[in-house]
Structure 1
Amino acid sequence: MDGLRALAMLMVVCLHLGQWTGSLIDDKGRPGPLARVLNGFDVSVPLFFVISGYLLYRPWAAAALTGRRAPRAADYYWHRLIRIMPAYWLLIITSLLVFDRERLGDGWRIVRLLTVQHVEHWTDLRVDPGSVSDWAQTWSLATEVHFYLALPLIAFVLHRALSSRHGVRLALALLAGVVALDLAWLVDSSPASLQGPTGLWWLCGYVGFFAVGMALAVLVAHIDHSGQLPSPVRFVIRHPWVCWVAAAVAFALLNTPLAGGLSAPADQLEAAFRYVADLTVVVGLAAPLVFARASGPARLLSHPVLAWLGGISYGIFLWHLIVLQVTVRDVLGMHYAQPGTGAFFVLLPFVLLLSVAAGWASHQLVEAPVVRRFRRRPRG
């Protein structure tokens, strides 16, 4: 999963660099030369959400199926707090002090930023082109935090389902229902306004991907407990590369007009198509890693470099946008979307190197020390 997280993070960096160089959308708002490749990199966000749903729900799923004590909600919330917030607070405070001091007097805005509620206020994200204090990428962190808050309640409901006579089937049916309702709500609300708050950014527009990750966790816990392999799992084990081919085909389709424009689907049909294609990509990529851990795809994404990048990916996520914006605006002296496609390829290794360095520093100096110092030991 660290390798998959690294892959998603690389897509995020490429997507934002494409925006800032004009390779995705030029300075006149037209599709750039790399638009039909980079546009599909939006699937990185659903990938992150599937990973979170899988990893965070696994302890609850295992406890429900084995009769062990479920994780304490208080411990879970505390561990999420110390894992996510200190590094995020450092980003926000540093950005405010260095780039946005004129707005330090706006107390409620700072409160919204520090509590990750800024996604409800478009101007808090500072997405005006050319702004260095632009935290546009953190909208997905707000969506993640809303899932963190809801997970213990969702786990309680699924625990009751997993403890019933129909057990795993009922839990999977409930999670499939969440995906269906999520798709229906998103399609009904499209086309969504890009002037936020937009339904495409809320938890109810992405909860289906978290549910997919939770369904994978249920299946893994079921296999570990019973030793039984459902037929879809047997197919994945036998044909892991077929899953990745399906993901590649779906990704290619995300870069066609069938999936809509560069920023959001233009109509309900495009919204439905993009959602189903995103689901195909994330399930196709993740399933072999979960069920066929000795397969080629799993070995490929278990490469030590990818695993290391995945381990520091949160810091890369936090700092890469400021790194590339400072590079374009201050080092090159250019405006948003002005450098051009050639600059995308020239700047990519430079931006990646600096972003990885920032991510490593964040992990080594903030994230890991805070977790080691304040993590609670399990009780009982």
Structure 2
Amino acid sequence: MRGRDAALDGIRALAALGVWLLHVGSNTGVMYREGLLAWMMSRLGVAVPIFFLLSGLLLYRPWARAVIEDTPRPRTPRYLWRRVLRVMPLYWLVTGLTLWAWSSFDLTGWLTWMLLAQNHFPGDDTTPDGLYQMWTLPVEMSFYLLLPLIAWALHRWARCGNRPVRLLAGIGVLPLVSVVTVVVARVYDLPQLGTLLPYQLVFFACGMALAVLSVWIGHSRVVESLAPQLLVLAGLVYVLLSTELAGPRTLALPTLSQSLWRLCLEAAVAVLVVTPFALAPGSGALRDRVLGHPVTAYFGRISYGFFLWHVPVITLQLKLMGAQPFGGDPAGVAVVSFVVTTLLSVVSHHLVELPVLRLARTERAPDRPREAPPQVARVP
């Protein structure tokens, strides 16, 4: 599975749409109404664990391949440089415009947000309008920074014995960090821990485990044959996630048992959704043709911009409408915000993301040695 995987891009597109729909529903009050549909809308935040899982899968796979197939390991400075180029330029653009429009931060506040330190140094200020979705970016960046160290430790652990099995065993320790963090957060009333990497590490670990399996077993005919059942099971688990078992749908804090249930159910949904495409790629089945369709895959490629832009767009739209909190026309907000956000995402993808990514590829590509000129025999 080298290069881009169109179906995984399609999953990323669906996850971005899930986050957008969640925020449309929360801002217009739809998800606080009665009924199962409102509850199911309130759990669309499971899209964030899917994003985290995809990061673990795609970023750890070169390290997993290095252990299992004895290929060269990624160079840490180059890897980190590419992560910075991938995340920060567009983040700076969107965050800078939003802070300029709706915040009263001083220089310290600006630096905190522009350096992705808002989760670690929240201060006394509330989250500025239009930026409440940005809590996920410091978590992602923390994982990016820590991944080379985790990969190094797993490499040393797995180099003796059955390497894939030992890798999976080592990765299996990481979810325990999340469980311990959830317990500490609830017992000691520290909800801010939920926006830090240790709390969310289980989702990245699931992706890392899938990365090991994708290198170890490659294309699995068993997974391919069970793919429809896995996706149906994901839907059933999502319905269970949409009950009070996983906590309230408001901003009220869940209990310890509800937090643990939610963590487990969200991880299960993410794994069940991604596994058929991570371990049975390119099978030509309908699910692959739909998610891997050029339109869906393209939306997946612009999904990062869509994720960044959609909340400022919804915020601006509601301010221009003069809507009351949890008010506004849901259909109107959905249609206008989708169109405007998509247009902004396309423009920023081609004017910001692609030029920066080309720079990253240029930095990566080594100079090819020139071929020696052919020896021409002299004519006697």
Q: Match for residue 238 of structure 2?
A: 251
Letter in 2 for 1:335: Q
Distance 1:80 1:279, change over 3 A: same
Sort the Cα spacing of 1:32 and 1:108 in 2 relative to 1 into closer, same or farther, 3 A.
Answer: farther
CA distance in 2, matches of 1:86, 1:19: 28
Matched AA of 2:241: L
Q: What is the 5 A alignment of 1:124-203?
A: 126-127=126-127, 133-190=129-186, 198-203=192-197
- Alpha carbons of 1:137 and 1:123: their partners in 2 closer, same or farther (altered >3 Å)? farther
Q: Is the 8 A contact 2:221 2:280 kept in 1?
A: no
State whether residues 98 and 131 of structure 2, in contact with CA within 8 Å, keep that contact through their aligned partners in structure 1. Answer: no
Query: How far does residue 191 in structure 1 lie from its aligned partner after superposition?
Result: 6.7
Partner residue of 1:297 out of 278, 287, 291: 287
CA–CA distance in structure 2, aligned partners of residues 274 and 216 of structure 1: 21
SS at match of 1:24: helix
How much has 1:179 moved relative to structure 2?
1.5
Comparing 272-281 with 117-126, greater Cα deviation is found at 117-126
* C-alpha deviation, 1:120, in angstroms: 2.8
Greater mean alpha carbon deviation, residues 252-261 or residues 298-307 = 298-307
Separation (CA, whole Å) in 1 of partners of 2:32 and 2:94: 27
2:333 is aligned with 1:337: no
Instruction: Report if the CA contact (8 A) 1:289-1:298 is conserved.
Output: yes
What secondary structure does 2:327 align onto? Answer: coil
Name the amino acid aligned to 1:344. Answer: P
Tell me the equivalent position of 2:339. Answer: 353
Alpha-carbon distance, 1:190 to partner: 2.2
Matched letter for residue 292 of structure 1: A
Q: Give the whole-Å Cα distance in 2 for the aligned partners of 1:240 and 1:98.
A: 46
Query: Unpaired runs of 5+ in structure 1?
Result: none
Q: Which has the larger radius of gyration?
A: 2
Contact 1:240 1:296 (8 Å CA) reproduced: no
The answer to whether the 8 Å contact 2:181/2:193 transfers is: no
Which whole-Å deviations, capped at 9, do the CAs of 1:106-135 have from their partners, x for residues lacking one? 1111111111001234468744xxx6x331
Question: 1:338 aligns to what SS in structure 2?
Answer: coil
CA 1:366–1:67 in structure 2 vs 1: closer, same or farther (change >3 Å)?
same
Note if 1:241 corresponds to 2:228.
yes
Task: Provide the rounded CA distance (Å) in 1 between the counterparts of 2:78 and 2:61.
Answer: 15
- Would you say 1:46 and 2:49 are equivalent positions? yes
Q: CA deviation at 1:162?
A: 3.4
Residue 66 (structure 2) aligns with:
63
- Paired residues, number: 356
1:287 is aligned to 275
Partner-residue secondary structure (3-state), 1:118 = coil
Deviating above 6 A after TM superposition, structure 1's stretches of 4 or more consecutive aligned residues are none
Contact 1:119–1:125, Cα closer than 8 Å, also in 2? no
Q: Give the distance between the partners of 1:270 and 1:234, measured in 2 at CA.
A: 36
Percent of residue pairs identical: 33
Aligned-partner Cα distance in 1 for 2:210–2:319 = 43
* Alignment TM-score, normalising by the size of structure 1: 0.87
Any idea what the Cα deviations from partners look like across 1:317-361, whole Å, max 9, x if unmatched?
Answer: 11100101111111x22122122xxx2123212211111111111
Deviation, 1:299, is 2.8
Query: RMSD of the TM alignment (CA)?
Result: 2.2
Alignment of 1:267-278 (within 5 A): 267-278=255-266
Check conservation: 2:185, 2:191, Cα contact below 8 A.
Answer: no
Show structure 2 runs of 5+ residues with no match: 1-7, 368-380
> Is it true that 1:111 corresponds to 2:111 in the alignment?
yes
